[in-house]
Amino acid sequence: MAKHFLSLADIPASELRAILDEAHVRKKARASWPKGKVDADAPLDGRTLALIFEKSSTRTRFSFDMGMRQLGGSSITATSSDMQLGRGETIEDTAKVLSRFVDGIMLRANSHDTLTALAHNASIPVINGLTDFNHPCQIMADLQTLEERGGDLSDMTLTWVGDGNNVTVSFIHAAVKFGFKLRVSCADGYTVAGQTIEAARAQGGDITIEPDPLKACENTDVVIADTFVSMGDSDADARLKDLMPYQVTDALMEASAKTSIFLHCLPAHRGEEVAASVIDGPKSAVFDEAENRLHAQKAIITWCFS
């Protein structure tokens, strides 16, 4: 059975912990090496990962490609519109054909159902590079960033501010697996589906819903923002208007713990979900976070092939 990485909710906590440990080890082992040099153990020698995009990407695209090179393997990138997928070939047939050519598939999909259909029909590992439902690779990089700054996740409080979106869902899943406390502060009408929160709580997740962003940020260790208009959202004007009171401002950061960290998966929109003074300020870890996409995903890929 191929090992897929589709959702943090599907993977045992001990295995996610091992992936994060591996990410730290691999990052340290190649500190200051040239970016294209292969890791000493070249664990993916001879393997090729297909990178398929139904939507735009900068970080996911480059980090998976460089990650495969560093692991001793290679990748092939295509957008769905380059492929027959964009002309109506089914995802099921695409899965069966690619399983004959490559060793694994990373998909960024509009719909989570497309990703699960790909995984069900592939005989090789499938990795989620973001869907409308979740973004698990991102959160592994985010947690690596917090740990390398000295954080003990089981002892931390993280606060999500703004739109309850795909990235929020993966933070909710991660709260169950890694034992941090999560406060979710979303505008009315922009909350995460109740069943996602209830399922996390039923598994011991410490999730608090606090609509007041200032209260939600009080004494928190981490403040997290994301775009108010995700890829695929059509109601941009209404979103910007409704979500502006949830901009992460200096006032919110001042309410947070003295040593707090600001995270954002990027791309960012300064003056919308976050003030420039916050994302470009001393508490911001966003570029370490972006770099860690590479290190965390290398550990995810090696897990899939283990």
- Residues in contact with ligand NVA by CB under 6 A are 130, 165-167, 226-227, 230-231, 265
**Residue 230 interface partner, choices ligand NVA, ligand CP, none, CB cut-off 5-8 Å depending on type:** ligand NVA
State the DSSP code for 193. P
CB of 167 to ligand CP, least distance (A): 8
Using rule CB under 6 A, residue 266 touches ligand CP: yes
The closest alpha carbon to 278, from 196, 200, 202, 222, belongs to: 222
Peptide bond into 245 cis (omega under 30): no
Closest CA to 299 of 30, 1, 10, 9: 30
Nearest to 67 by CA among 306, 266, 291: 291
* Smallest gap from residue 53 Cβ to ligand CP (A): 9
Residue 244 or 266: the one with the smaller Cβ distance to ligand CP is 266
DSSP type of residue 85: G
Do the beta carbons of residue 298 and residue 70 sit within 8 Å?
Answer: yes
Q: In this complex, which beta carbon is closest to ligand CP, that of residue 43 or of residue 164? A: 164
Which of residues 97 and 231 has its CB atom nearest to ligand NVA in the complex?
A: 231
Three-state DSSP state, 201: helix
Footprint of ligand CP on 44-63 (CB under 6 A) = 57-60
Q: How far apart are CA 11 and CA 100, in angstroms?
A: 26
Q: How far is the CB of 267 from ligand CP (least distance, A)?
A: 6
- Which pair of structure tokens corresponds to residue 215? 């209260």
Candidates 142, 140, 130; CA nearest to 287 is 142
Q: How far is the CB of 266 from ligand NVA (least distance, A)?
A: 7
Residue given tokens 């979106």 in the structure block: 165
302 binds, among ligand NVA, ligand CP, none (CB under 5 to 8 A by kind): none
Would you name the residues annotated as active-site residues? 108, 135, 138, 226, 265, 293
Q: Count residues contacting ligand CP (CB under 6 A)?
A: 8
128 binds, among ligand NVA, ligand CP, none (CB under 5 to 8 A by kind): none
When CB distances are held under 5 to 8 angstroms depending on the partner's kind, the choice from ligand CP, ligand NVA, none that residue 166 binds is ligand NVA
- Which residues are near ligand CP by CB under 6 A? 57-60, 130, 138, 265-266
